Structure 1
Amino acid sequence: MPPDERRRAPRHASEIRNVYELLDEVRLRPGMWVHGSSLLHLDSMLMGYRIALNPYGAYEDWPFWNPGSQGSFAEWLWQRLGRHSSLGWAAEIERQAQAAGQEAMELFFSLFDEYRTEREHAAR
């Protein structure tokens, strides 16, 4: 997200159209959306969001809940780290952040931005 985007006013939940916009809101105010800024709680929230779409037959590009899927964030993360983890992306990023003395949410968004950039370049 560009630095100017971080200064914009938060949107109401009813204005959020997809998971990427939801994550933009989480980035603005992580403590409001995710208890303790825990990536495990974020992962749970994202799974709930995805499950809530099912009854409506809503399709959405979904990078988080596709175990073993080539385009998933987790698969990208395992390739980037050069190893696989059965803990899942959220726990692994929290471990990485703790080892680096960094905020887990900050590291997640840095990695997620990198993932999105690579996906956008590959789609061109």
Structure 2
Amino acid sequence: MTKPKQLNEFENVYDFLNRVRLHPEGWVRHGSLTHLGAMLAGYRVAMAVYNAEEDFPFWTPGNLSPFDAWLGLRNGGLNAQGWAVAIEREAEAIDTPAIELFFTLLDQFRAERQQPAR
């Protein structure tokens, strides 16, 4: 098993999300994807402040994010409230923890974009 990266070793948002995946209860209050979405929005703001360039599919100011667009195609329509609410609703309908469903969908999204999941 590979040792998880430390915060100062993160190279991109996927490193951060992989760390969250390992210990979601330590990062995301009550497994809420709304909280995770807020954290990712903060990550995106920090990218803008520091002029950081990286693939960031979760929030694009003024535009539909790639993850929202992908999820909308998968689900047959966009959710005006965003990916976090859409996944939380789907998770509730299938009686699965939302954070677990998020990571399943994230792996599918990345596989379709031909990016390594881990």
TM-score by length of 2: 0.89
Q: Does residue 62 of the first structure (1) align with residue 46 of the second (2)?
A: no
Long gaps (5+) in structure 1 = 1-6
User: Of 95, 101, 111, which residue of structure 2 is paired with 1:101?
Assistant: 95
Structure 2: gaps (5+ residues): none
In structure 1, how many angstroms separate the alpha carbons of the residues matched to 2:79 and 2:25? Answer: 27
Aligned residues: 113
Find the aligned partners of 1:13 and 1:104 in 2 and give their Cα distance. Answer: 24
Q: Which has the higher helix share?
A: 1
Q: Could you list the structure 1 runs, at least 4 aligned residues long, displaced by more than 4 angstroms after superposition.
A: none
Q: How does 1:112-123 map to 2 (within 5 A)?
A: 112-120=106-114
Which amino acid is the alignment partner of residue 15 of structure 2?
E
- Superposed CA deviations along residues 65-87 of structure 1, whole A, max 9, x for unmatched, are 13325xx0000000000112111
Q: Which amino acid aligns with 1:36?
A: H
Q: Report if the CA contact (8 A) 2:33-2:98 is conserved.
A: yes
Cα deviations by residue, 1:40-74 (Å, 9 ceiling, x for unpaired): 000000010111122221111110113325xx000
Q: Secondary structure at the match of 1:120?
A: coil
Match of 1:110 in 2: 104
Residue aligned with 1:40, SS:
helix
Matches within 5 A, 1:80-95: 80-95=74-89
What is the aligned counterpart of 1:33 among 24, 27, 52?
A: 27
Secondary structure of the equivalent of 2:113? helix
For the residues of structure 2 that align with 1:85 and 1:33, how far apart are their CA atoms? 25
Identity of aligned residues (%): 47
Aligned Cα root-mean-square deviation (Å): 1.4
